Amino acid sequence: MRRVATLVVVLAVLGLAAWLVWPSGPGVRAQEQVIPVMDGPDDDQRVELDTTFFPPAGGGKAPAVLLAHGFGAAKESVRDQAERLAEEGYAVLTWSARGFGRSTGQIALNSPDYEVKDVKQLIDWLAKRPEVLLDAGGDPRVGIVGASYGGAIALMTAAHDRRVDTIVPQVTWHDLADALFPNAGGDGEGVFKRAWAGYFFGRGGVTQQGLRALVEPQRPLSAEEARCGRFLPEICEVYQAIAATGRPTTDAVELLRRSSPVSVQGKITAPTLLIQGQRDSLFTLAQADANARAVAGPVKVVWFDGGHDGGNGEADYLTDLTLGWLADWLKDKPQVAGGRHDEGFTITRDGGRDPGTRQRIRLHPETAAYPGLAGTTLTQVPLTGGVQNVVNPPGGSPASISTLPGTGGLLGGAGGQSALGGLSLDMPGQSASFESAPLAKPLQLTGSPSVSVRVTGQPGEVTLFAKLYDVSDSIQPPTLPASLVSPVKLIIPDDQPAAQATITLPAVDHLFPAGHRLRLTLTTTDMGFATPADPASYQVELAGATVSVPSVAGLAEPPPGLPWWVWAMPLAAVALAGALLATGRVRRGRVEEIDPDAPPLQISGLTKAYRNGEKAVDGLSFRVERGQVLGLLGPNGAGKTTTMRMMMGLIHPDDGEIRIYGQRVTPGAPVLSRLGSFVEGPGFLPHLSGRDNLELYWAATGRPPEEAHFAEALEIAGLGKAVERATRTYSQGMRQRLAIAQAMLGLPDLLVLDEPTNGLDPPQIREMREVLKRYAADGRTVIVSSHLLAEVEQTCSHVVVMHRGRLVSEGPVAKLLAHSTASTNGHGPRLEDVFLDLIGEK
């Protein structure tokens, strides 16, 4: 047992060590180089791009992947991802875009004249690499993967360079002008997303980014650096203008759109995997929706739990998605050319809690086609709430809070959304709310709900922010799904008292449980946006009685079936358990002929060794006849008790055998029912009375009560009224007598008693002696072990002397005394002298 346990531990340690030091795959080499490119409107500006090339891990010619970084970062930020792709067998090129990292040049916001030209020349460079698979001369098999700023360059390059075979743009924009000046209430000029714009522009500076910026002092900047960072001067000018006024200029809109996929509608034919975050107040799901419509090639849209506001990020899931997509369109391209097998729509949803870990799990239901933000079905939910007064506070402060931008990227996942725990604050007096009745059944919102409102007030611009809350009618505060708001700018004409608009609410995926209410809140301020400084007051009311909520039918993930082991493991375990039991069966001797003349006890060649190898019983053989009272005599450690335990079938002999009435003794052998035993002290249930102990013991033998002879047994025990007391209250002598009485229950043919007179007082010893003699007189047999010589001499007819596990002498007591050679000192021979003589200690 101990040896097996040690072996298991050693194997476990070895296995763990091997697992830890096992060489992990061939390392990916990285080659750093500067690639000079020419760009600018006239192709006359030389820029040196800092790049790293990762050859495919498997060698040979492989498809290439251009891996673009996000805004404010550099090529190092995507190194892990690049190594992963290289391990998967792609040739990967990462680069710092112009104006970032160690690349020269200035930031042009993915302009077709600058960054797009750079990337086209990177593709030229790839086409010359021996590791890169070519579709045609100068046309490498290449995909572009990137997030945010990197996602936009993927889209823009794919539109301008037909050599790009597939793109995976993540969390990026469709129209930068719309992203920074959104208007959910029409096509007019939007509301400046001031906090995000400032944050975004700030990351184009020359200061350090990320956590290092928090811990290291920043170097002093020149005036120009401080003003424009590494931005192209014309972009810097535009930003300065719009940030100061909070209003887009025509120039600004034109410039921003030139850097946006909106300017290349329909030109992107490469298969596109659009991954957009559900927690993104910068580039919303609506941006991805517009991109999906702008791409002419096959499109798959993914909404994951993440984005610029944080969320989980689902890095592993996105990696798997990207790898699967690249494998389909870069590696397997010849087989599925023209096939649109990978189109569709996948979304991340809360899947409740894992049954084991009790942690939140995410499901990824999908449909075959992307339905757009209007969903496949619309549910009209009636809202109530009359005309309500709202004011715009002077200076736009205090402002309501929905999302704090930027904290998500900076703190690496702990997003702006979670900074407030999803809590959204509306300032009193600034908001109007319209509520539905509690929902009769759950309502799954997937897409952009819409609602019509009317605003009455002074002619001019009205800025409002629309939110759709989930209200639970408990002490839980209302939740604003994804913490998103829809800014609306509408204009009350000079000649009319009111303006009416249909507001497109933020695109989200959210389940309104049954019993919850929908609440539409319109507020005049939001911290993330530029709002008018002039005080104003309006009346807000619903123009339509309902909010229309889109849902997508068929967005369901089949529940995963039970893994194979749920069935296989219990079956295998039961089979193995059966095998363990079947092979472990102790061989029981064949049912032997009952020999009526067999002696009560015959021991032959009995041997039992302790675990340390010392023999407790060594080749013991003797025989007991009917009617004998046999004394088993020997000093402590002679093996008397061990022999008796083997007689009871408690210990397995190493060699030899014991036969009782001719039947071989094995554990639980039926012949043991003819044996009554008392070995090494009494064994009673302490909480039961003496009588209960005897009765339950007898009941455990399964034999009829009338055979037990309780009365005789209790008389021998002589406990009087104490027999009704719990045995834990007994003295040692009382227990001893009760145990001997238990051994005599059923008047067994062979009685084996180990030191029966221990703990008895002299009158009881005398009485016990007589009981044993009488017991044997009826033709039964008694074996008594003792180290008290006088006891054996007075009780026993025969004696077996043991010493160190061996038989020293046997025979009638009288004969043993007669043959003694010991000196008698003038007295008759005493057993004590004989015994000491026999064991050679005299």
Partner 1 sequence: MSTTYSPGRTLPLRVEIVRQFKRRRTLVMFGLLLALPWILVIAFKVGPQPSGQGGGLRMSDLATAGGLNFAAFALSVSVFLLVVAVALFCGDTVASEASWSSLRYLLAAPVPRDRLLRQKLIVAVGFAAAAVVCMPLMAMLAGTLAFGWNDIQVPGTGETIPAFDVLPRFGLVVGYALVSQLVTAALAFLLSTLTDSPLGAVGGAVGLWIVCTILQAVEALGVVREFLPTFWNNAWLDAIAPEPDLSGMAKGAAISVTYAALLIALAFRRFRRKDVVS
**Within positions 565 to 604, which residues make up the interface with partner 1, using CB under 8 A?**
565-567, 569-570, 572-574, 576-578, 580-581, 584-586
In the complex, the smallest distance separating the C-beta of residue 12 from partner 1, rounded to whole angstroms, is 13
In the complex, the smallest distance separating the C-beta of residue 800 from partner 1, rounded to whole angstroms, is 21
Instruction: By CB under 8 A, name the one of 84, 257, 293, 674 that touches partner 1.
Output: 674
In the complex, the smallest distance separating the C-beta of residue 659 from partner 1, rounded to whole angstroms, is 13
Instruction: By CB under 8 A, name the one of 179, 547, 675, 771 that touches partner 1.
Output: 675
Per DSSP, the residues of 31-76 read: EEEEEEEEETTTT-EEEEEEEEEE--TT-S-B-EEEEE--TT--GG
Residues in the chain, how many? 842
The token pair at 501 is: 């608009």
Q: How far apart are CA 138 and CA 127, in angstroms?
A: 5
Instruction: By CB under 8 A, name the one of 26, 41, 202, 670 that touches partner 1.
Output: 670
In the complex, the smallest distance separating the C-beta of residue 524 from partner 1, rounded to whole angstroms, is 30
Q: Residue 34: beta bridge partners? A: 50
Q: Is 614 in the site for partner 1 (CB under 8 A)?
A: no
| Residue closer to partner 1 (CB basis): 98 or 645 | 645
Contact stretch for partner 1 (CB under 8 A) within 258-266, 339-347, 595-603, 693-701: 693-701
| Residue closer to partner 1 (CB basis): 709 or 773 | 709
| CA nearest neighbour of 827 among 836, 817, 842, 841 | 817
Instruction: By CB under 8 A, name the one of 304, 684, 730, 775 that touches partner 1.
Output: 684
The token pair at 566 is: 């749920």
In the complex, the smallest distance separating the C-beta of residue 352 from partner 1, rounded to whole angstroms, is 7
Could you give phi then psi for residue 813, rounded to 5 degrees?
-60, -45
Contact stretch for partner 1 (CB under 8 A) within 382-390, 680-688, 717-725, 787-795: 680-688
Amino acid at 121: Q
| CA nearest neighbour of 112 among 40, 184, 51 | 40
Residues 102 and 128: beta-carbon distance below 8 Å: no
- Residues in contact with partner 1, counted by CB under 8 A, come to a total of 74
The token pair at 612 is: 């340390």
In the complex, the smallest distance separating the C-beta of residue 636 from partner 1, rounded to whole angstroms, is 16
The token pair at 485 is: 């708001």
List C-alpha distances in Å: 19 to 11, 15, 24, 26, 210: 12, 6, 10, 16, 35
Residues 169 and 274: beta-carbon distance below 8 Å: yes
Instruction: By CB under 8 A, name the one of 12, 685, 814, 818 that touches partner 1.
Output: 685
| Residue closer to partner 1 (CB basis): 524 or 727 | 727
Per DSSP, the residues of 115-179 read: HHHHHHHHHHHHHT-TTB-EEETTEE-EEEEEETHHHHHHHHHHHH-TTEEEEEEES--S-HHHH
Contact stretch for partner 1 (CB under 8 A) within 17-25, 248-256, 399-407, 643-651: 643-651
Please state whether beta strands 272-277 and 299-304 pair in parallel, antiparallel, or not at all (unpaired): parallel
User: From the CB of residue 120, how many other CB atoms can be counted at a distance below 10 Å?
Assistant: 18
Contact stretch for partner 1 (CB under 8 A) within 123-131, 483-491, 682-690, 755-763: 682-690
Residues 523 and 400: beta-carbon distance below 8 Å: yes
Q: Is 661 in the site for partner 1 (CB under 8 A)?
A: yes
User: What residues contact residue 553 under an 8 Å CB cut-off, 6+ apart?
Assistant: 367, 376, 377
The shares of helix, strand and coil residues in the chain, as percent rounded to the nearest 5, are 30, 25, 40
Instruction: By CB under 8 A, name the one of 251, 707, 724, 770 that touches partner 1.
Output: 707
Q: Is 5 in the site for partner 1 (CB under 8 A)?
A: no
| Residue closer to partner 1 (CB basis): 395 or 513 | 513
In the complex, the smallest distance separating the C-beta of residue 584 from partner 1, rounded to whole angstroms, is 4
| Residue closer to partner 1 (CB basis): 162 or 567 | 567
Q: How far apart are CA 522 and CA 266, in angstroms?
A: 36
Q: How far apart are CA 146 and CA 167, in angstroms?
A: 8
Q: Is 668 in the site for partner 1 (CB under 8 A)?
A: yes
The token pair at 144 is: 């572009």
Helices (H), 315-415: 315-326, 333-336, 407-410
Contact stretch for partner 1 (CB under 8 A) within 28-36, 249-257, 648-656, 709-717: 648-656
Q: How far apart are CA 742 and CA 758, in angstroms?
A: 16
In the complex, the smallest distance separating the C-beta of residue 672 from partner 1, rounded to whole angstroms, is 4
> Of all helices (H) and strands (E), which one includes residue 380?
strand 377-382
Q: Is 100 in the site for partner 1 (CB under 8 A)?
A: no
Helix (H, G, I), strand (E, B) or coil at 347: strand
Contact stretch for partner 1 (CB under 8 A) within 34-42, 482-490, 672-680, 809-817: 672-680
Contact stretch for partner 1 (CB under 8 A) within 49-57, 539-547, 703-711, 788-796: 703-711
Instruction: By CB under 8 A, name the one of 491, 651, 760, 836 that touches partner 1.
Output: 651
Q: Is 746 in the site for partner 1 (CB under 8 A)?
A: yes
Residues 530-559 binding partner 1 (CB under 8 A) are 559
Q: How far apart are CA 102 and CA 32, in angstroms?
A: 12
> Of all helices (H) and strands (E), which one includes residue 502?
strand 498-504
| Residue closer to partner 1 (CB basis): 436 or 524 | 436
Residues 473-512 binding partner 1 (CB under 8 A) are 474-476
Binding mask 330-369 for partner 1 (x = CB under 8 A): ----------------------xxxxxxx-----------
Instruction: By CB under 8 A, name the one of 23, 421, 563, 840 that touches partner 1.
Output: 563
| Residue closer to partner 1 (CB basis): 267 or 674 | 674
Helix (H, G, I), strand (E, B) or coil at 655: strand
Contact stretch for partner 1 (CB under 8 A) within 2-10, 167-175, 406-414, 661-669: 661-669
Residues 161 and 140: beta-carbon distance below 8 Å: no
Contact stretch for partner 1 (CB under 8 A) within 71-79, 273-281, 668-676, 709-717: 668-676
Q: What is the DSSP letter of 511?
A: E
In the complex, the smallest distance separating the C-beta of residue 678 from partner 1, rounded to whole angstroms, is 8
Q: Is 703 in the site for partner 1 (CB under 8 A)?
A: yes
Q: Is 214 in the site for partner 1 (CB under 8 A)?
A: no
The token pair at 198 is: 């400032």
Q: Is 729 in the site for partner 1 (CB under 8 A)?
A: no
| Residue closer to partner 1 (CB basis): 425 or 688 | 688
Residues 838 and 801: beta-carbon distance below 8 Å: yes
User: From the CB of residue 735, how many other CB atoms can be counted at a distance below 10 Å?
Assistant: 22
| Residue closer to partner 1 (CB basis): 221 or 577 | 577
In the complex, the smallest distance separating the C-beta of residue 335 from partner 1, rounded to whole angstroms, is 33
